[in-house]
Structures are given as C-alpha cells and as structure tokens.
Amino acid sequence: MQTSIHNPHFLLRRLHSLLGLLPAGGFLIFHLWENSQSRFGATYYNDQVVGWLQGLNYLVILEIFMIALPLLFHAGYGLVILRSGQSEWRRFSWLHHRLYWLQRVSGVAILLFLLFHVGWTRIWAIWEPAIKLDLFGHMQSLLSQPTIFLLYLIGLLLSLFHLSNGLWTMAISWGLTTSAAAQQHWLYICAGLFVLLTALGLHGMLGFVL
Amino acid sequence: MKRPRKVIIIGGGLGGLWSALRVAEAGFQVDLFSLFEVKRSHSVCAQGGINACFDTKGERDSIWQHTVDTLKGGAYLANQPPVKSMCEEAPGLIHTFERMGVTFSRTAEGLMDLRLFGGVKNRRTVFAGASTGQQLLYGVDQEVRRQESLGRIRKFEWWEFLSLVLDGQDTCKGITAMNLRTLEIKSFRADAVILATGGMGQTYGHRSTNSTNSTGAAACRVYQQGAWFANTEFFQFHPTAMLGDDKTRLMSEAARGEGGRIWVPQDPEDTRRPTEIPEQDRFYFLESWFPSYGNTVPRDVASRAIWRVVHEMGLGVGGEHKVYLDLTHLNPGFIEQRLHAILDIYRKFHGADPVHEPMEIYPSAHYAMGGLWVDFEKDVSSGGMKPGSQRNHATNIPGLYACGECDYGYHGANRLGANSLLSASFSGRVAGEAVAAYLKGLQDDLQTVPEYKYLNEVARQQAINQSLMDSRGEENPYALHHELGELMSSRVGVVRDNDVLRQAIDDLSELEERSLRINLQETNSWSNQGLAYTRQLQEMIRLGRVIAASALARDECRGAHYKPALDLTIPENTYPGDPAYEKYREAWKRQNKDWLKTTIASAGETGPVISYQPVDLSVLSPEEPRDYR
Amino acid sequence: MKTIDFQIRRQDDPYSPPYWQSFSIPYRNGHNVVSALMIIRENPITQEGHHVDPVAWEFNCMEEVCGACSMVINGHPRQACSTLVDTLEQPIRLEPLSKFPVIRDLMVDRSRIFSDLKKVRAWIEIDGAWDIHQGAPRVSPEAWKDNYLYSRCMSCGCCMEACPQYGDTEDFVGPASLAAVRLMNAHPTGQYHKTQRLHAIMAEGGLSDCGNAQNCVRVCPKEIPLTTAIGELGRQITLQMMKDLLGKSE
Ligand SMILES: Cc1cc2nc3c(=O)[nH]c(=O)nc-3n(C[C@H](O)[C@H](O)[C@H](O)COP(=O)(O)OP(=O)(O)OC[C@H]3O[C@@H](n4cnc5c(N)ncnc54)[C@H](O)[C@@H]3O)c2cc1C
Ligand code: HEM
Ligand code: HEM
Ligand code: SF4
Ligand code: F3S
Ligand code: FES
C-alpha cells in the first residue's frame, strides 16, 4: 500500500499548489505593493524602495530560493498539469469551466510575460548597470510606450486572475471550502481580492507614467 | 489438486448478486452473466421499500403477522414454509444490507425508519428515500465488486444466456451464451447454474412498468429444455401507471391516498381539455361504484373498475385505453409536499404538471407472481424451510436453480407491496447456499461431460442466429412486440374470460408463426441489437402462451387472477358470524378444495401442458378469506 | 406535417469512421429521446429516404435510475429517457459520449467506470453476507441526508463526459468514483478503512487530478453534490497527509 509520503504524484501536486500561493502569490502581492510606491517619485522609489531591497543581505539567495526556483517549479509542473486537461472551453459555458480554462491559459501567458518582464528588468540590467541605478526611469521609458503598457496591463490582469482563481481552487483542493455555499462565499472574497490587487497594480503602473 | 467447482449465475439483479456472494463465500468460483453492467439491472426501479418486521413503531408488529399478511395477501397459494422462513429472516437480511452500506432512511434516533405499505396494518417497510431498490442493489453490487477484486467472481457483462447444456442424465452442466457485441456464441462449463433473470413484464410490451431486461426470455428458454413454470397466470397489474409510448411508469398509491380522484368524461368523444369539462359531464366511477371507499379501493379492485370502464363501457378518454387521475382540486402546496416524488416523475417524463392538469393513467403489468417452479425442503422441527438444503430453490432440472422474480416462490396469487425486494434478496441468498450444499455432495467430475454436448448446443444456437440473419420475411420485430403487448394486456390482462383467452392462445400461435418470418432490416453483425431483441421476442410470445394457457385452465378468481363469471364476493355488510358471511366462507372453502393448488406448466409438443401440485399449508390453514374492508 | 428531426452520429463498429445521418419522425406530444429512437429503430429510413441499419443505443429502466441511456444531446451529456423532445431545439443532435470508446452508434463501453470503483475501493468491508445478528451502528438523520444524496449515483458517466480532466488517455478516475469514496468513508464501519481509500485517491488519477472545473456537478442528472464531495475529500486528504507525514507510520 502506497502512503502519501511515498506517492510523489500527490506530494508534487500539493507542492505545486502551495508554491503558487507561497511564495509566488506572496511575492506578487509584495511586488505590487513595492511598485505602487512609484507615485512618490523617482528618487523615493529608486532610493527608498528599490534601494532598501537591493541593500538586503543574501539578496541573491533569497531571490533564487524564494522567487526563482519556486516559480520555476510551479511553472514547470503547471505545464505538466496543463497537458492532462482537454478543455473544450466552448462546449460548456458555466463560469467555473471558463475559469478553469482561463487558469491554464493565464499560466502560459504569465510565463511569456515573465520572459519579457524579467528580461527587460533583471537580465538587461546585467549588461546595462544604468538600469539598476535608475529603475524608475527605466520603467517609465518602457511603460510610456503604449504597446508595452498594454502588455503589462494584460500581464498584470492575468497574473492577478491566476492568483485569485488559484486561491479559490486551492480552498477546495485543501478542503477549506466544501459546501457549494462556502465555495460561493469564498468566490466573492477572491473576486474582491482580485479587484483590490488590480487597483494596487494599476496604481503602481500609472505612478511611473503620470 | 482438483480444480475448484464452478457455478454460473445468470442475472445481476438483487437475486443474482446475492446468490453470487453466498456461492463465492462458500469457496466456489462464480461466473456472473448479465445482459449489461449488473448495476443497471431492473431492481433499481423499485422505489417504495422492503418489508421486515422490526416493530419499532410501538404497534406490536410481529414476524407472525408479516407471515400471515403475506400468505393471506397471496390468497394462500404460496407454499408456506418458505414464506415463514423469509419473514423470519427478513430483519437479519436488512441488517446485512445495512452493514453493506445501504443508506436506509433514519428516525431521529438514528434507527431505520419504517413506513406503511399497502395491504397491511402495521408499519413494516424499511426504505431508502425514494429509491430503495437502487440502494439495495448498489449495496450488494459493491460487495460483489469486492469479491471480484479478490478473484472469486468473474463477470461476463454484455453476454446473453441462450440455453442450458445438459449431460447424459439431463443434469445441468453448463450454458451457452452470446456475446452481445461480437454475437459470438460460446459454451461454458459449470457444475451448477443459477438463473436470476428477473421478471417477465415485457410480455405485456409497452404496457408494463418493467425495464427492458424483464422479458422472461431466459426462463422461457429453460422451460423449453424441461424446466417447469408455476402459477404464471398470476400477474399483478398496478392500477395507476402513467402512460407512455415506451413504457408505463408507476404512480404510487399515495396519489389516491392523498385525495386523488379517478374519472372519465361521460362522453368518450369529448374533445375538451380535461380541466374544461364541467363536473356534471364527468364520471367518477370509483366513487359511484364503491361509495364507502371511493378512490381508495385496493389495487386489484381499482384495476378492474378501470378495466370495466374502458373495455366494457367504452369510456376510455378519447376512445383510448386511459382514464384521468386528478389532483387539480387539491391544494397545490399540500400535494407538492406530500406527493413530491410522484409529481416529479410525471413532470419529468410527461412534461405536464399534475397540479394543473389531470394525469392520464391505466392499469399496467407490474409483477409476475409466477415463474420457474422451485423446490424447497421443509424443516420439520421449525416448520420453515430447512437451511442449507440443496433442494431449496432447485428447479426440476438437477443442477439448475432459480431465484429472484423469475421463480414463483413467495407471493402466491398476489404480492404484497414491498415484499418482492425481500423475496428477490432472500431467495438469492438461499439459492446460493443451496448450490453450495449441492456442490459439496457432488461426485462426478465436470470434465467427464463429453465436449460434443457443448458443441452441439452451440451449433443449434448458431443455426437460430443464422436463420434470423438470413430471414427476409415481412415482419418487423418491434411492431410485433407492440402487437404482443396490446394482445396480452387486453386479453390476458386484468379481467379474463375463457373465450377471449382461447382466442388469445390462437392469436399467440399465429404471432409465433409470424415471428419466424422476420426481417431484421440489418446486415451489420456487430452489436446487432435487433437479433437479440427478436430472439427475446420469440420467447416472450411463447411465454405469453404459457400465461394464457394457465389462465384458461384456472377456473376461479384468486388474487390477481380474475374471471368475473366465477367471482365470489363477500356479501355486503356481513361479517364473520353472520349467516350470509358464513355461507360465503363455505363457498370459498369449496373453491379452495378445487383450486387451492399450484399450476405447473411444462413444455409439450404442441404447447404448454398444464398440471397441478398441492400447496404446503402447514403454517396457516386457510380459514380466513382475504378481507380488506 | 409537424415532425421531430434528428441528426445522429453513427459508427458501425469501434474501428470504422463515424458519419452523420438525419431522421424525421411524425410529431407526437410527450416523446422523450428514447421513445423517439424506438420509432426510428422500427422504421430506420433517413430523411433522404435511404433504408439504413437501425440505430443502436443503450437503455433499460426508462425512468432515469439505471444510468444506461447517457448520450450527448445537443452538446450536453444527459439521460435520453428523461429528456423530453419538446424541451429541445431541433434538429436534435445525438452523439455517443466522447470520453469512452464507441461500441456502435450511440453505445459506448463504460467498463472503466467500474474498474475505477475497484481502484478506489468503493465498498464496505463486511465479514460476510451472512447474518451476524446485529446491524451497523446508528446514523443520524442529518448524516443520512448527506449520504443519501451520494448513494444515488447510477454510474451513468455524464459527469465524466463533462469533466475536462477526464479522458480516455488520462488516469483520472473522475468525480463519481471520488464521490463514492466520500460516501463509503462516511459509513459508520466504512470509516475503518478510510485510510486505504484515501491513499488510493492520493495516487495517480486520484483527487488531485481534479482541476475544479465543476462541470460535473452541473450535468449530473441525479444532482449529486460532487464538488462538495471533492472539497470534503480535500479536507480528509489534507489531514491524512499530516498523519502520514507527522503521525505514526503504518
Ligand atoms: C416500477 C417497479 C417498482 C417496484 N417497486 C417495488 C418496491 O417498492 N418494493 C418491492 O419489494 N418490489 C418492487 N418491485 C419489484 C422488484 O423490483 C423486482 O421484483 C425485483 O427487483 C426483481 O429482482 P431480480 O433480481 O429478480 O431481477 P432483475 O433486477 O430484473 O435482474 C435481472 C438480471 O438478469 C439479467 N438477465 C436477464 N436475462 C438475461 C439473459 N438472457 N442472459 C443474461 N442475463 C440476463 C439482467 O441483465 C439483470 O441483471 C418493483 C418493480 C417495478 C417494475
Ligand atoms: C504591474 C506592473 C509591474 C511593474 C511596474 C513591475 C516592475 C518590476 C521591476 C521594476 C522589477 C525589477 C526589480 C529589481 O530588479 O529589483 C521587476 C522584477 C520582477 N517582476 Fe515585476 N512588475 C510588474 C508586474 C509584475 C507581474 C504581474 C509579475 C508576475 C507575476 C512580475 C514578476 C516579476 C519578477 C519575477 C521579477 C524579478 C524579481 C527579482 O528577481 O527580484 N512583475 N518588476
Ligand atoms: C509561470 C507560469 C505559470 C503556470 C504555467 C501556472 C500554471 C498553473 C496551473 C496549470 C494551475 C492549476 C493547477 C490545478 O488546477 O491543479 C495553477 C494553479 C495556481 N497557480 Fe499557477 N502557474 C504559473 C504561474 C503562477 C504564478 C506567477 C502564481 C502566483 C501569482 C501562480 C499561482 C497559482 C496558484 C495560487 C494556483 C492554485 C493552486 C491550486 O489550485 O491548488 N501561478 N497554476
Ligand atoms: S455522479 Fe451523477 S453524472 Fe456522475 S455517474 Fe453518478 S449519476 Fe452520473
Ligand atoms: S468537472 Fe472535473 S475537474 Fe473536478 S470539479 Fe468536476 S471533477
Ligand atoms: S434508461 Fe435507465 S436511465 Fe435512461
């Protein structure tokens, strides 16, 4: 008899689920809060916000183990899960079926978005130290281009959708919500969270360009 | 090492699954055959409940009372020791179901709840919501699946039983069966065979409440190989079945109990919608014929009255075989609450709302009391059936056993509501134990039966298939079945008459003749449903003849078998002790002297041969006529 | 003349290609899909007037309790016997369930449902089907009410047809088998083997393969609260995982 400890399938699934929220989800919320401070201007942002962050000890280790690896695992295993579905999204128009489909699509979209996003920020900065010095200006110049702004907007919305809906499904997977009524109530809360975080994210994006 | 003895069980309803469990538990290998996944068997249709005396309602109910109700309800025609044992073991059987996980409805204290069912005074019916049969079947189905996972039971689903293979001593040593997908016919060796193939309501075609698996074909096949049928003239008709082109669906008695009224328009040509027909143009025939009971007369009385209105008076709605069951005068909220299950079915399948529109109903063939004759061994010390005797549920063919609705065991001339889930389960358990006993005493080796016995039987069955596939006649099997249903329900139905029955027998012979000139309209030999259907149809026509011949031979009224010319009725307003009543009792006893006997039908050259057997009356001597006043 | 029009997806055997045929039958009040198919099989002539083989499909009870007659009707998996023609848009499109191998026409092979029930050990372990002179422990009416909802599953396959995670190449046992575990785990003595069942659905094809699309609960003809079962099992499994990771080992 295989126990759950000996069954990697189950543990991997739960790990994937967990990592989606912590640290990935947590990072995203923190990240948006961080960027929402763009409205205090370039100096404050560059010195106080980014500067404080970049001054942390063991930053690289934190970044690798708290952000990069978990995210990579979640993304990689997410792609594995993706292969198992066969969403005929047009066949049934019920809300949760659409959300199920969107969860998968947004996962892939986030992956693509991150390639660009991390490329333009972290990777590019490896060759162009100037970027690191004036992240505010860098983001400002990026986001003032309408196409890039749009790209970020989509990336933001999809990420937040993915997180909020992920929270909703997590509650079932882990057995937090069981009855249909509980699931409905939790849905309202997740939707509220989505709105709130969108406002936060949008606020941050606008802070760079306005 | 000797190879383990093997048992073939045909049928995966309550009867078949119970026997499979008991045989497997006794350590024998079981091969279980069914027309489809056993979980879809007809047993799931039963809604009402299953009887067992628990006496948890403060009514001083007793097992003895259950026995008496069953025997009397069946007009004393059932052999009494098996009935006694069944009633005694019922509570233990229900407890076993409970252990298997059946979700019986509960009282506030967490005990199994009981409800009142027709024909009895005490609450004695255990139920699981409105789907008792389904829950019971699933309970045993799960246990069988467990045995299957342990390798003790093998399932052959999508295989149709075709015939027995008998050895030189006419002992049953296996079967032939057809794979319903490939149409391949194969023989299977077995040391014993249990037939649990269910009822035969489909002989009444679309005028039956039964599922399509209830054709009686399998029983009719073994009948032609020498097994006896018993009491087939006794067929229970349910008075209030909702009409449909495909089947009729049961509307429980509760509809009348809660105040439903049955009526027809005075003028059968009346084309108005029922709700537009004013009171004075309606004929509430139950109320006018039975003023004191009105619409709540017992099932058989209601069926006969509807029959009379439609067939003798020609008053069926729109000239068709149907009458109205009207709830529209009742408070919608009240009936919604009390009759939810019925309203739901009617809405779902008829698309109309009985709250606003009268339901169209007609009596419908519901339950076959008769079936394959089976033996029992009486236990002289207890007066019941001897536990573990190899004679119990044995047919007259050695090695062949029968249980479930396809045997004739427990209901005599009429079945009490909620007693057949009990008999199907109980008889399955008994048959399984009997077969285990039979095998323990068996000396010969199965492998000594010569192979040609099997090959010949397979060849015979293949020839039947081939002739049907090749036949390019003009008859359509589906249309023929429809004709059969109309014929049986109108002439071998609720009310019987010897001249009509004779005519029916002739017509059935003609129908049989026609069924050989079939056109399957189909060349595909993969999953050819028409072929299996036609083969079953031919058996149903033959079975119809057995039913009609048995009915013709029995010249009396008893239970569900009713010939108006021979009716003995209790004089009105008389009770035991009154001279008029006692005179009636004398007449009733005289009738018992002549007719209280089991009808046996065996297959002869030109048709069924009818003979009789005495009934074992050792438990309750027939002194009290059935009296539901 | 008013008619009922059908488009039926046909397939002669498991290996031949599917094709479509159209049929019309005279309108009659009260037809359901099974009774209409019965008219077609009696006289299998297409709209174009060609005489073809009768349509093969599965049915038994005609009362929506046996689960035999599931098919895809106008895109939705449902029971043909309880689907009234008058509630459907015409032409009525009939297709076999797509998640199971086609046997012929509208018939599919659903044996996998039953082998999955074996996988998840959906039974109560009893010593034997004999009388032990007592029943099972009591069950409160509240618990009964919840359990009864699940006990009505007729293995029809509709929920699996609608589930995007269920497919003939996937391991996922589907919502119905999971709900069966929920039911067995709630039985007073079924609880004794709860761990075995939970471990079974922690394996490949088990609970964690559900993606919470919740189509299952929308299509179930018996209105079984499948997603509630999935949530409750999620909880049971979370606790089981804690036990396995931190508690005493077996
Ligand atoms: C609408 C309705 C409601 C009812 N309600 C009640 C009730 O409330 N209470 C009550 O006590 N009784 C009730 N009954 C009666 C009761 O349901 C049946 O008598 C009982 O279920 C019969 O069980 P069975 O095992 O004999 O047969 P079934 O359940 O009919 O099983 C027959 C099995 O035999 C198989 N089979 C048949 N022919 C072949 C063949 N040739 N080859 C292979 N396999 C074959 C089938 O596949 C099936 O598995 C009701 C009946 C009806 C019609
Ligand atoms: C809403 C607009 C967003 C803005 C303005 C923004 C801005 C930034 C900036 C400036 C950086 C560089 C930080 C640094 O080098 O220290 C960064 C890094 C990053 N961003 Fe965003 N971001 C946004 C949205 C998102 C979203 C939606 C995600 C994905 C879920 C995301 C994920 C990341 C990641 C993974 C990094 C690299 C982090 C690291 O290595 O520290 N960002 N972002
Ligand atoms: C980068 C690419 C990503 C991919 C391909 C991806 C893919 C997926 C998939 C397929 C699921 C559904 C799992 C299931 O239903 O079983 C999922 C769930 C989830 N994802 Fe992602 N994801 C990605 C990024 C992210 C990010 C950046 C976050 C955080 C903001 C995140 C948070 C979550 C959460 C919380 C869940 C819910 C887990 C659950 O239901 O148990 N994902 N992801
Ligand atoms: S859960 Fe519902 S849809 Fe699924 S198999 Fe059971 S009855 Fe059918
Ligand atoms: S549709 Fe499928 S994905 Fe889960 S919630 Fe239902 S089982
Ligand atoms: S025929 Fe049984 S569910 Fe439709």
**Residues B452-485: tens digit of each pLDDT:** 999 999 999 999 999 999 999 999 999 999 999 9
Q: How confident is the model at residue C249 (pLDDT cuts 50, 70, 90)?
A: low
Residue B174 has, within 13 A of its CA and on its CB side, a CA count of 25
CA nearest B80: which of B454, B614, B545?
B614
Integer CA distances (angstroms), B511 to A37, B470, C221, in order:
91, 20, 40
**Residues B308-330: tens digit of each pLDDT:** 999 999 999 999 999 999 999 99
Is B584 contained in some domain? yes
A183 and chain C: CB distance < 8 Å anywhere? yes
Provide the pLDDT for residue B570: 87
Residue B101 has, within 13 A of its CA and on its CB side, a CA count of 28
CA nearest B203: which of B536, B512, B517, B498?
B536
pLDDT higher than 70, residue B522: yes
B348-365 burial: b if 16+ Cβ within 10 Å, else e: bbbeeebbebbbbbbbbb
Integer CA distances (angstroms), B460 to B434, B456, B519, B606, C19, in order:
31, 6, 21, 20, 36
pLDDT higher than 60, residue B296: yes
- C173 interaction partners in chain A (CB closer than 8 Å): none
The mean pLDDT of chain B is 95
Q: Whose CA is nearest to atom 2 of ligand 5?
A: C163
pLDDT higher than 70, residue B532: yes
Structurally, chain B folds into a number of domains equal to: 2
Contacts 24+ apart (CB under 8 A), B106-111: B106/C138, B106/C139, B106/C140, B106/C141, B106/C144, B107/B56, B107/C141, B108/C141, B109/C138, B110/C138, B110/C139, B110/C140, B110/C141, B111/B56, B111/C138
- We report the CATH number of the domain holding residue B586 as 1.20.58.100
pLDDT higher than 70, residue B132: yes
Provide the pLDDT for residue A1: 45
Q: How confident is the model at residue B103 (pLDDT cuts 50, 70, 90)?
A: very high
Provide the pLDDT for residue B619: 97
Provide the pLDDT for residue C234: 98
Ranking B162-176, B325-339, B588-602 by mean pLDDT, the lowest is B325-339
Provide the pLDDT for residue C248: 66
Closest CB to A92 among C170, C215, C235: C215
Tell me whether residues C141 and B110 touch, CB distance under 8 A. yes
Closest CB to C75 among A2, A91, A173: A91
Is B381 contained in some domain? no
Q: Looking at the CA of A141, name the nearest ligand.
A: 2
Q: Where is C215: in which H helix or E strand?
A: helix C215-219
Q: Which amino acid is at C135?
A: G
A132 and chain C: CB distance < 8 Å anywhere? no
The bridge status of strand B6-10 relative to strand B29-34 is: parallel
Tell me whether residues B44 and C61 touch, CB distance under 8 A. yes
Residues of chain A with pLDDT > 70: what percent? 98
Q: Whose CA is nearest to atom 2 of ligand 4?
A: C220
Task: Taking each helix axis as running N to C, give the angle between helix B529-553 and helix B451-470, from 0 to 180 degrees, rounded to the nearest 10.
Answer: 100
pLDDT higher than 80, residue B118: no
Of B317, B335, B364, the last residue of a domain is B364
Provide the pLDDT for residue A2: 58
Asked whether C181 lines ligand 6 (CB < 6 A), one says no
Given 1.10.1060.10, 3.20.20.140, 3.40.50.720, 3.40.228.10, which CATH number is that of C111-245?
Answer: 1.10.1060.10
B154 and chain C: CB distance < 8 Å anywhere? no
Tell the residue number behind the tokens 């004929």, with chain if given.
B283
Provide the pLDDT for residue C106: 98
pTM: 0.96
Q: What is the CATH number of domain C3-108?
A: 3.10.20.30
Q: Looking at the CA of A176, name the nearest ligand.
A: 3
**Residues B443-454: tens digit of each pLDDT:** 989 999 999 999
pLDDT higher than 50, residue B194: yes
Tallying the residues shown for chain B, one arrives at 629
In terms of Cβ atoms closer than 10 Å to its own Cβ (0-12, 13-18, 19+), residue A132 is middle
* Strand-by-strand arrangement of the B114-115 sheet: B50-51, B125-126, B114-115
pLDDT higher than 60, residue C250: no
Is B517 contained in some domain? yes
Could you give the CA distance from residue C217 to residue C226 in angstroms, rounded to a whole number?
5
Domain spans in chain C, listed from the N-terminal domain onward: 3-108, 111-245
B-contacting chains (≥3 CB pairs under 8 Å): C
Integer CA distances (angstroms), B261 to B218, B254, B281, B302, in order:
40, 12, 15, 12
B388 and chain C: CB distance < 8 Å anywhere? no
Tell me whether residues A7 and C164 touch, CB distance under 8 A. no
Provide the pLDDT for residue B276: 95
B621 and chain C: CB distance < 8 Å anywhere? no
**Average of per-residue pLDDT across B406-424:** 96
Provide the pLDDT for residue B298: 80
Q: What angle do CA B321, B417, B252 make, to 5 degrees?
A: 45
Could you tell me the distance, in angstroms and rounded to a whole number, from the CA of residue A170 to the centre of ligand 3?
10
**Residues C52-97: tens digit of each pLDDT:** 999 999 999 999 999 999 999 999 999 999 999 999 999 999 999 9
Structural domain span for residue B486: 473-597
Tell me whether residues C66 and B524 touch, CB distance under 8 A. no
Provide the pLDDT for residue A3: 65
Q: How many CB pairs under 8 A join A and C?
A: 118
Could you give the CA distance from residue C129 to residue B19 in angstroms, rounded to a whole number?
10
Residues of chain B with pLDDT > 70: what percent? 99
**Average of per-residue pLDDT across B391-399:** 98
**Residues C131-150: tens digit of each pLDDT:** 999 999 999 999 999 999 99
Is B76 contained in some domain? no
- We report the CATH number of the domain holding residue B288 as 3.90.700.10
**Residues B57-98: tens digit of each pLDDT:** 999 999 999 999 999 999 999 999 999 999 999 999 999 999
* Number of C-beta neighbours around residue B408 at 10 A: 27
**Average of per-residue pLDDT across A140-160:** 97
Measured from the CA of C174, which atom of ligand 5 is nearest? 7
- C184 interaction partners in chain B (CB closer than 8 Å): 101
- C134 interaction partners in chain B (CB closer than 8 Å): 95
